[in-house]
């Protein structure tokens, strides 16, 4: 196995080497407090781990939102105006908008910062956004994820969760669910104590002020969260992931207000910004896009119900109509032809599905779902060699996911590359837990191929 090209193995080896370091005390870069930890990573080590695992989160949340101007505008606020002025300015900070209607924001250790389209569309002011992102920067500044466990343990758990959840997918429900399945489970690993949340709320205030924004609007964000929580009821909702990582408490609202009053008593006279001149236009674009994605989300639910046998095939007509309506609003957004591909597959029209997948990949070559599904459809159509570039891209985009490795094994078998198939199935098993459908399929094929390889070797020797 080539360890220099396998990102999962590289990350695992780095994590293992860090775990073998002596235990001791770590220091909070913000307040100087010391705490027990397995090891204290340097900024470069922490940054490397965050960069290694960030692609899994990006792929899981539907890829990056396709609006470079908005991305650049918000990144300037988060990175240039806040992160570079934070308590850890030298981390390899990076900010990205994730293309999902899920309502969430989070940061990985090492400076990888994310917000979802769904949350952006529900904010009102630029100052809200600044405080929210400052809060996430605060978790990284305080090294909250390191408390009580080393990075090796955290990301080892993360890898296991991704593999286990993705391993439960079967061909019939894959991969329309991959933009939502597993999100709450992964992010639960990043949940924090109440005290850590309060500390990050305070850093949100500090960093928003550094960027020139009024942090008093930060309390509005938590009022929004409380309202969304009350609206969600007991069922599954778009804020399940949010609630797993941001435990809500009305005292956090008063905590922000009290911290501002105690530490910034003259805040009203500072001339801090609530929303800049560009914010309204940018927010309007996101909200208009969200209307299109509301159609996508409704179509995805319909397709899922058909896949699970809870709705008739006629529901696919409504799903298609919704996707085409959304695509008319957002013609350059790849998830819509990807959704239409699912409709065609549910109708057992693989060639029509392939045409939609070609369109999706042309719009966004880095959309994991389109890449891996196109690879699978190519295999089903007897075009195993044509599947290889897509499967290789899918493995790069979502390193922890076992699915493209399973399909690579199938493609390699079809091409007569038994050694390559064995390697692919072995890589599948490294990324998935026992008892899952993918584990069973990979194990079965691996046993057959190893038996065939042994028989061939024995015959040659004879």
Bond from prior residue into 111 cis (ω within 30 degrees of 0): no
94 and 140 co-located in one domain: yes
Burial (CB count <10 Å: 0-12, 13-18, 19+), residue 231: exposed
Q: Name residues whose C-beta falls within 8 Å of residue 428's C-beta, 6 or more positions apart in sequence.
A: 402, 405, 406, 409, 438, 439, 442
Same domain, 198 and 304: no
DSSP secondary structure letter of residue 80: I
> Is residue 458 in some structural domain?
no
DSSP assignments along 405-451, one per residue: HHHHHHHHHHTT-HHHHHHHHHHHHHTS-TTSHHHHHHHHHHHHHHH
CA-nearest of 207, 237, 222, 17 to 130 is: 207
Considering the domain architecture, whether residues 22 and 122 belong to the same structural domain is answered as yes
Among 225, 260, 276, where does a domain finish?
A: 276
The answer to whether the CB of 241 falls within 8 A of the CB of 230 is no
Q: 255 with 370, same domain? A: no
A 10 A CB-CB count for 113 gives 24
What pLDDT score was predicted for residue 29?
Answer: 83
Look at residue 1 and tell me if it is in a domain: no
Task: Give the chain's domain count.
Answer: 3
**Domain hosting residue 270, numbered range:** 7-276
Counts for the chain of helices (H) and strands (E), in that order: 20, 5
Is 22 in the same domain as 170? Answer: yes
Cβ neighbourhood burial of 153 (10 Å; 0-12, 13-18, 19+): middle
Residues 342 and 416 grouped into a single domain: no
Any domain includes 393: no
- Do residues 354 and 258 both lie within one domain? no
Domain-located, residue 291: yes
Does a structural domain hold residue 394?
A: no
Are both 201 and 253 inside the same structural domain? yes
**Which pLDDT score, from 0 to 100, does residue 369 have?**
96
For residue 312, give the CATH number of its domain.
1.25.40.10
What pLDDT score does 170 carry? 39
**Do 75 and 212 belong to one domain?**
yes
Q: Is residue 366 part of a domain?
A: yes
* Residue 95 shares a structural domain with residue 49: yes
Residue 2 belongs to some domain of the structure = no
How far, in Å, CA of 62 to CA of 328, rounded? 20
Same domain, 35 and 76: yes
Residues of the chain with pLDDT under 70: 1-24, 38, 146-191, 232-249, 453-462
Could you tell me which residues come within 8 angstroms of residue 18 by beta carbon, excluding any fewer than 6 positions away?
A: 39, 41, 45, 150, 151, 152
Last residue of a domain, one of 223, 241, 276: 276
Residue 462 covered by a domain? no
Query: How much is the pLDDT for 451?
Result: 84
Q: Which of 334, 361, 388 is the last residue of a domain?
A: 388
Which residues have C-beta within 8 Å of that of residue 251, sequence separation ≥ 6? Answer: none
CA 429-370-293 angle, 5° bins: 120
Residues 329 and 269 in one domain: no
Tokens for 171, please give them: 């061909």
pLDDT tens-digit map of 253-268: 899 999 999 999 999 9
């Amino acid at each position: 196995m080539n360890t220099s090209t396998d990102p999962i193995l590289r990350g695992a080896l780095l994590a293992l080497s860090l775990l073998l370091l002596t235990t001791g005390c770590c220091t909070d870069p913000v307040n100087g407090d010391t705490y027990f930890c397995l090891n204290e990573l340097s900024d470069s080590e922490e940054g490397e781990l965050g960069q290694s695992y960030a692609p899994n989160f990006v792929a899981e949340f539907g890829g990056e939102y396709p609006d470079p101007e908005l991305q650049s505008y918000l990144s300037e606020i988060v990175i240039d105006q806040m992160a570079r002025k934070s308590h850890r300015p030298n981390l390899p900070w990076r900010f990205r908008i994730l293309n999902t209607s899920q309502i969430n924001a989070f940061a990985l250790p090492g400076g990888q910062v994310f917000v979802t389209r769904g949350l952006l569309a529900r904010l009102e002011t630029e100052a809200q956004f600044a405080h929210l992102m400052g809060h996430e920067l605060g978790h990284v500044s305080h090294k909250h994820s390191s408390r009580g466990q080393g990075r090796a343990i955290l990301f080892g758990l993360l890898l296991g969760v991704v593999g286990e959840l993705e391993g439960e997918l079967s061909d019939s429900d894959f991969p329309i669910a991959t933009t939502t399945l597993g999100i709450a489970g992964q992010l639960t690993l990043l949940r924090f104590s109440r005290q850590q949340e309060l500390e990050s709320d305070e850093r949100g205030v500090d960093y928003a002020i550094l960027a020139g924004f009024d942090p008093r609007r930060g309390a509005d964000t938590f009022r929004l969260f409380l309202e969304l929580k009350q609206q969600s009821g007991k069922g599954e909702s778009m804020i399940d992931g949010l609630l797993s990582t941001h435990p809500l408490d009305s005292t956090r609202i008063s905590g922000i207000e009290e911290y501002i009053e105690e530490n910034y008593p003259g805040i009203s006279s500072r001339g801090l910004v609530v929303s800049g001149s560009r914010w309204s236009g940018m927010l309007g674009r996101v909200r208009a896009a969200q209307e299109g994605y509301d159609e996508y989300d409704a179509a995805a639910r319909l397709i899922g119900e058909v896949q699970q046998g809870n709705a008739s095939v006629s529901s696919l007509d409504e799903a298609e109509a919704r996707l085409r309506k959304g695509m008319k609003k957002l013609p350059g957004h790849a998830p819509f032809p990807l959704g239409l591909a699912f409709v065609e597959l549910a109708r057992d029209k693989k060639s029509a599905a392939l045409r939609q997948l070609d369109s999706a990949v042309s719009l966004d070559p880095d959309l994991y779902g389109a890449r891996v599904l196109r690879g699978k459809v190519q295999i089903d159509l007897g075009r195993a060699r044509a599947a290889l570039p897509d499967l290789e891209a899918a493995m790069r985009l979502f390193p922890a996911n076992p699915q493209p490795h399973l399909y690579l094994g199938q493609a390699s078998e079809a091409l007569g590359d038994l050694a390559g198939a064995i390697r692919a199935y072995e890589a599948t098993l490294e990324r998935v837990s026992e008892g899952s459908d993918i584990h069973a399929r990979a194990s079965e094929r691996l046993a057959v191929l190893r038996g065939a390889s042994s028989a061939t070797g024995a015959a040659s020797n004879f």
